[in-house]
Amino acid sequence: MHTQENRTLVNGKTSIIDRASGCNRRTSIRLERIEWSALQEICREKDISINEFCCEVDRDDRRREHSRASRIRSAIFHYFLSTRTTLVS
């Protein structure tokens, strides 16, 4: 049996601007704890909110991932790969 502390996936709520209507829409995104931490670090570095980051990612036509969470995960990974000069091997 898993307790809440042992779960690695965390649901978080954010607002995303709907492409079709342009309206703000609340959505739930399930990410690993480390992904939420990375997302928070990115937003601090860029001085933007999590909502702003998620909207940017969702509007990016270059993103081809099948789900919003996958697009966000991929954008997080890409951010760290593109901004870090050395990677731990």
Q: Is it the case that residue 4 has pLDDT exceeding 60?
A: no
Asked whether residue 23 is domain-assigned, the answer is yes
Asked whether residue 88 is domain-assigned, the answer is no
Asked whether residue 51 is domain-assigned, the answer is yes
Q: What global pTM score does this model have? A: 0.72
As a whole number, the mean pLDDT across the chain is 80
Asked whether residue 39 is domain-assigned, the answer is yes
Q: Is it the case that residue 88 has pLDDT exceeding 60?
A: no
Give the tens place of pLDDT for each residue, 27-61: 788 888 899 999 999 999 999 988 889 888 888 88
Q: What CATH code is carried by the domain that includes residue 31?
A: 1.10.1220
Asked whether residue 46 is domain-assigned, the answer is yes
Q: Is it the case that residue 12 has pLDDT exceeding 50?
A: yes
Asked whether residue 89 is domain-assigned, the answer is no
Domain count across the chain: 1
Q: What is the pLDDT of residue 2?
A: 46
State the residue range of the domain holding 37: 4-83
Q: What is the pLDDT of residue 3?
A: 47
Q: What is the pLDDT of residue 42?
A: 95
* DSSP string covering the chain: ---GGG--EEEEEEEEE-TTT--EEEEEEEEEHHHHHHHHHHHHHHT--HHHHHHHHHH-TT---SSHHHHHHHHHHHHHHHH-S----
